């Protein structure tokens, strides 16, 4: 059957990228059809950002209960009630889910439930119905990757999707992959009471972060009793009735109740007709230019399905950019270096701009300054260790801000403004930071770079 239409825009996938694009396009007066096979909000809302952060908050509360005595509060950590944690997760997720659905309705976006498939460059079939769009936006997102030799059974060998619906706290877990997702789950489970070991093939946890941040996180994790094996790959994984046995290269074996596979996420493109209509892929993702255009005119790809940073706020931004482009506005391309990145473990690791390694690669002469949170009273009150490291061009603007510490992620916004406005350290040093806040650590680093250190 022929669907109604043509619509100005047909968006395939209702996750962060897709629904943001639909909302902005509708606001700009376009008729928009949004096709979603599962739940509006996608990975971020239902299986990613939001549910993991509810777990991380529960973990933080558990740790605060453990530390209560050290600040003179009579409270005790007695354990985790996963039913309760899950209820908290569902309350938050459902509220946001209703909110997004309400926004789409309010802006007049037509939402179709079902699995869509390109049957022409401007045609999407859902079941027997074909919908036509003057422009098409692919936003089908990503899914957990596996590796040869791993059999993800959802019981012993699991992904983040299974981890978020577990009904118990595992006694022990091996986390394969020390990227953002692996590190966040390791942090949660340790606080929930599990024995945790991370296995990472590269030499550091969070290998894309400034090396000093990774090392600081590793020290903090060691203090928390989170174990890790760095620079080593697994050789084999075997499961039995009680758990998993992971053999590492070199022969060392690790045993645990569960193995979490967190080795990255791959774009969802298979069987969706993308290649059949001539859309070029790049390492499995949909290849795009700086404005998220694919090689087929009038077809765009946003969010995790393209090769740019796999972050919800990048999906939002790309969705908005493409909606504006289609509406004939002239949106600037995204500067991906200027996108903030946060790992919400305890301690948090946050950054914006480039690392010192990348700065050197790009030929910058740089200066660096690290302010240790040991000198920051608010950090001491929060009982956190960590640091803020600023990288600047010699006699020039700030190139990167890198931080580690409890709740430090909220500070990345300042780093982002500094980086994106190409501020000089001396200019930021002029700004008075509120006392006592952790943001003073940023101010202190800038003061030191400007040649007038205060508490350093
Ligand atoms: P998705 O959110 O994956 O949405 C794609 C949608 O398309 C899905 O709803 C899917 O059902 C639908 N779909 C797919 N194929 C079809 C089809 N053929 N027809 C119809 N519908 C289809 N990012 C952050 O910024 N901060 C975080 O803290 C964070 N934490 C994360 C934690 C975890 C455990 C995970 C897994 C991810 C996390 N992310 C985080 C990443 C973030 O979730 C993604 O970057 C974001 O969801 C990408 O949005 P998207 O719209 O591209 O894709």
* 245-278 tens-digit pLDDT: 999 999 999 999 999 999 999 999 999 999 999 9
Cross-strand pairs, 247: 236, 253
Retrieve residue 279's tokens.
């859309």
Is-contact 5 133, C-beta < 8 A?
A: yes
Asked if pLDDT for residue 337 goes beyond 70, the answer is: yes
Q: Quick check: CB of 303 below 6 Å from ligand 1?
A: yes
Ligand 1 geometric centre to CA of 77 (Å):
34
* Chain-centre distance for alpha carbon 396: 30
Retrieve residue 135's tokens.
């422009």
Nearest CA, atom 38, ligand 1 = 48
pLDDT digits (tens, 9 = 90+) for 341-352: 999 999 999 999
Ligand 1 geometric centre to CA of 50 (Å):
11
Q: Quickly state the pLDDT bin for 2 (edges 50, 70, 90).
A: low
Which residues in 268-397 belong to E strands, given as ranges? Answer: 281-282, 285-286, 299-301, 341-343, 348-353, 366-372, 387-393
Residues taking part in catalysis: 435
What proportion of the chain, given as a percentage, has pLDDT over 90? 98
**Mean pLDDT in residue range 215-221:** 98
What proportion of the chain, given as a percentage, has pLDDT over 70? 99
pLDDT digits (tens, 9 = 90+) for 271-299: 999 999 999 999 999 999 999 999 999 99
Nearest CA, atom 33, ligand 1 = 48
Nearest CA, atom 30, ligand 1 = 49
Q: Quick check: CB of 54 below 6 Å from ligand 1?
A: no
Q: Quick check: CB of 36 below 6 Å from ligand 1?
A: yes
Specify the ligand 1 atom closest to the Cα of 305: 52
Q: Quick check: CB of 315 below 6 Å from ligand 1?
A: yes
Ligand 1 geometric centre to CA of 221 (Å):
28
Cα 391 to Cα 76, 225, 382, 416, 424, distances in angstroms: 42, 31, 26, 13, 11
Residue 453: the pLDDT is 93
Gyration radius of the chain's alpha carbons: 23
Nearest CA, atom 11, ligand 1 = 38
Which residues in 265-386 belong to E strands, given as ranges? Answer: 265-267, 281-282, 285-286, 299-301, 341-343, 348-353, 366-372
163/258 Cα distance (integer angstroms) = 10
Q: Which residues contact 398 (CB under 8 A, 6 or more apart)?
A: 353, 390, 391, 392, 415, 418, 419, 422, 423, 424, 425, 428
Specify the ligand 1 atom closest to the Cα of 164: 34
Q: Quickly state the pLDDT bin for 130 (edges 50, 70, 90).
A: very high
Other beta carbons less than 10 A from residue 35's beta carbon: 24
- Least Cα distance to 404 among 443, 366, 453, 441 occurs for 441
Asked if pLDDT for residue 5 goes beyond 80, the answer is: no
Specify the ligand 1 atom closest to the Cα of 18: 51
Specify the ligand 1 atom closest to the Cα of 313: 25
44/2 Cα distance (integer angstroms) = 32
Residue 3: the pLDDT is 64
Count of residues in the chain: 456
- ∠ CA 331-333-335 to the nearest 5 degrees? 135
- Least Cα distance to 112 among 219, 37, 31 occurs for 37
Nearest CA, atom 22, ligand 1 = 13
Q: Quick check: CB of 268 below 6 Å from ligand 1?
A: yes
Which amino acids are annotated as binding site for FAD, given as ranges?
A: 53, 116, 140-142
pLDDT digits (tens, 9 = 90+) for 97-127: 999 999 999 999 999 999 999 999 999 999 9
* Chain-centre distance for alpha carbon 422: 25
pTM, 2 dp:
0.97
Residue 456: the pLDDT is 86
Q: Quick check: CB of 348 below 6 Å from ligand 1?
A: no
Mutating to test ligand 1, I would choose from 36, 44, 51, 187 the residue with most ligand atoms within 8 A of its C-beta, which is 44
Specify the ligand 1 atom closest to the Cα of 272: 18
Ligand 1 geometric centre to CA of 265 (Å):
10
Q: What is the mean pLDDT of the chain?
A: 97
């Amino acid at each position: 059957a022929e669907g109604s239409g043509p619509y100005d825009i047909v968006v395939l996938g209702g996750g962060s990228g897709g629904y943001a694009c639909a909302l902005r396009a509708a606001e700009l007066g376009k008729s928009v059809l949004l096709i979603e096979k599962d739940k509006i909000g996608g990975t971020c809302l239902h299986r990613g950002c939001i549910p993991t952060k509810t777990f991380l908050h529960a973990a933080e509360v558990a740790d605060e209960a453990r530390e209560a005595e050290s600040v003179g509060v009579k409270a005790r950590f007695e354990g985790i009630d996963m039913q309760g944690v899950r209820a908290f997760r569902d309350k938050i997720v459902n509220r946001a889910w209703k909110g997004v659905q309400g926004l789409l309705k309010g802006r007049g976006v037509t939402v179709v439930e079902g699995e869509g498939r390109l049957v022409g460059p401007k045609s999407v079939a859902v079941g027997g119905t074909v919908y036509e769009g003057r422009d098409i936006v692919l936003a089908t997102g990503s899914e957990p990757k596996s590796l040869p030799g791993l059999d993800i059974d959802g019981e012993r060998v699991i992904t983040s999707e299974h981890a978020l619906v577990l009904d118990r706290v595992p006694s022990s877990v091996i986390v394969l992959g020390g990227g953002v997702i692996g590190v966040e789950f390791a942090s949660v489970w340790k606080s929930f009471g599990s024995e945790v070991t991370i296995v990472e093939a590269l030499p550091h946890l969070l290998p894309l972060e400034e090396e000093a941040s990774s090392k600081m996180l590793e020290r903090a994790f060691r203090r928390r009793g989170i174990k890790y094996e760095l620079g080593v790959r697994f050789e084999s994984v075997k499961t039995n009735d009680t758990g998993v046995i992971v053999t590492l290269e070199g022969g060392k074996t690790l045993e645990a109740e569960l193995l979490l596979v967190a080795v990255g996420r791959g774009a969802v493109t298979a069987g969706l007709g993308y290649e059949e209509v001539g859309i070029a892929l790049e390492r499995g993702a949909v290849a795009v230019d700086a404005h998220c255009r694919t090689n087929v005119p009038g077809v765009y790809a946003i969010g995790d399905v393209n090769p740019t940073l796999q972050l919800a706020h990048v999906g939002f931004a790309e969705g908005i950019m493409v909606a504006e482009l289609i509406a004939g506005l002239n949106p600037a391309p995204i500067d991906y270096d200027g996108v903030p990145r946060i790992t919400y473990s305890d301690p948090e690791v946050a950054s914006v701009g480039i690392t010192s390694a990348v700065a050197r690669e790009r030929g910058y002469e740089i200066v660096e300054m690290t302010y240790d949170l040991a000198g920051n009273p608010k950090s001491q009150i929060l009982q956190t260790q960590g640091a803020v490291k600023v990288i600047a061009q010699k006699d020039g603007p700030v190139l990167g801000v890198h931080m580690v510490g409890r709740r430090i992620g909220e500070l990345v916004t300042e780093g982002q403004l500094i980086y994106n406005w190409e501020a000089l350290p001396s200019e930021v040093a002029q700004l008075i930071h509120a006392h006592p806040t952790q943001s003073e650590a940023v101010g202190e680093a800038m003061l030191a770079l400007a040649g007038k250190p205060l508490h350093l």
